[in-house]
Amino acid sequence: MKVLVTGGAGFIGLHCVRKFLEENLEVVIVDNLSSSSQACIPDEVIFYNISMETPDLKMIFAKEQPDYVVHLAAQISVKKSLEDPLRDCLSNINGTLNVLQNCIHFHIKKIIFASSAAVYGEPGYLPIDEAHPQNPLSFYALSKQTAEKYIQLFSDHFDLDYCILRFSNVYGPGQNAHGEAGVISIFLNQLLQQKNPILFGGEQTRDFIYVQDVANAVSLALHAKKNGTFNISTNSETKIIELLDQLQHALNSSNSPVHRPLREGDIIHSRLDNTLAMKELNWKANHSLKQGLLETIRFSTKANAR
């Protein structure tokens, strides 16, 4: 069995790729390295440095004839999506459409799509289940919602099997500290460089999910007989100020935070209900925040020492 992973050189992508290799799947990565590097791609993987938006993608599908597609490649910055909505659309909507057309043309067995909690917008109730109303607050969120709808219509019209996974806040080893997606990697980076961490607000809560649990969900979704849309989360809330406290404690750091007001547009509380994924995909989050943070710290400390 061969799986083509778009965005496979990225943070979540590399964890998925390692999981697939453990399962003896053949892996092909399509990634334009716009927010990643080739350095960590395992040797046994076939790698194409191209954009999923280009017609060249068809040649790769024709040559590799993958059985499955895991579609992770995206413009992931909310800020950039607001600055340049057209670029966000070309990547996240047109790029997804190009991937989908190739899935149909080459009779792919199933596509797994990385969506986001961002599709829900401001929560009307907690925990947010999959039936919660959707109100995207950024072009990034809108592009994820639109891509989801394209996938569902492709499935209706062309019998494409799919799982859409809506991730909460993913963290873990290898996350880029400069991407706005990763408050944990940003804090870690600041603390390891002996800087005072910048704390926007602090009382707001997020649902942090460890990246290996996410890779596990992607793998289970790939093999599952079911189609569907699933939250992938821990169904728990952590205050950002408490998260910082845990990191400082683990690193023995006494650098006091620089307090800033909550950023405009930041959601106050977020927690995703993961009951459906547990029931239908037989998945569960195996890492507590404490365990996940220790693994992440271990990795970052080593990387920082190099």
Residues across the chain: 306
DSSP E strand boundaries for 142-227: 161-167, 169-171, 198-200, 205-206, 208-210
How many Å apart are CA 77 and CA 65, to the nearest integer? Answer: 31
Among residues 28, 45, 76, 199, the one that binds ligand NAD under rule CB under 6 A = 76
Among residues 3, 7, 119, 154, the one that binds ligand NAD under rule CB under 6 A = 7
34 binds ligand NAD (CB under 6 A): yes
Among residues 116, 146, 231, 234, the one that binds ligand NAD under rule CB under 6 A = 116
DSSP character for 130?
A: T
Residue 123 neighbours by CB under 8 Å, 6+ apart? 132, 267, 269, 270, 271
How many Å apart are CA 254 and CA 244, to the nearest integer? Answer: 11
Using CA atoms of 284, 165, 221, 295 in order, give the dihedral in degrees to the nearest 10.
-50
9 binds ligand NAD (CB under 6 A): yes
Interacting span for ligand NAD (CB under 6 A) from 28-36, 131-139, 261-269, 273-281:
28-36
What would you report as the CA-atom Rg of the chain, rounded to the nearest whole angstrom?
19
Min dist CB 141 to ligand NAD, Å, is: 10
207 binds ligand NAD (CB under 6 A): no
36 binds ligand NAD (CB under 6 A): yes
Residue count, binding to ligand NAD (CB under 6 A): 31
Among residues 78, 114, 220, 247, the one that binds ligand NAD under rule CB under 6 A = 114
Residue nearest to ligand NAD (CB): 10
Q: Which residues pair with 167 in a beta bridge?
A: 116, 232
Min dist CB 40 to ligand NAD, Å, is: 10
Min dist CB 23 to ligand NAD, Å, is: 19
Interacting span for ligand NAD (CB under 6 A) from 71-79, 246-254, 272-280, 286-294:
71-79
244 versus 253: smaller Cβ distance to ligand NAD? 244
Residue 273 neighbours by CB under 8 Å, 6+ apart? 127, 128, 129, 130, 231, 233, 235
74 binds ligand NAD (CB under 6 A): yes
Contact 302, 158 (CB under 8 A): no
Across the chain, how many H-helices and E-strands are there? Answer: 11, 13
Min dist CB 296 to ligand NAD, Å, is: 13
Among residues 48, 68, 162, 167, the one that binds ligand NAD under rule CB under 6 A = 167
Which parts of this chain interact with ligand NAD (CB under 6 A)?
6-7, 9-13, 30-36, 51-53, 72-76, 91, 95, 114, 116, 167, 169-170, 176, 181
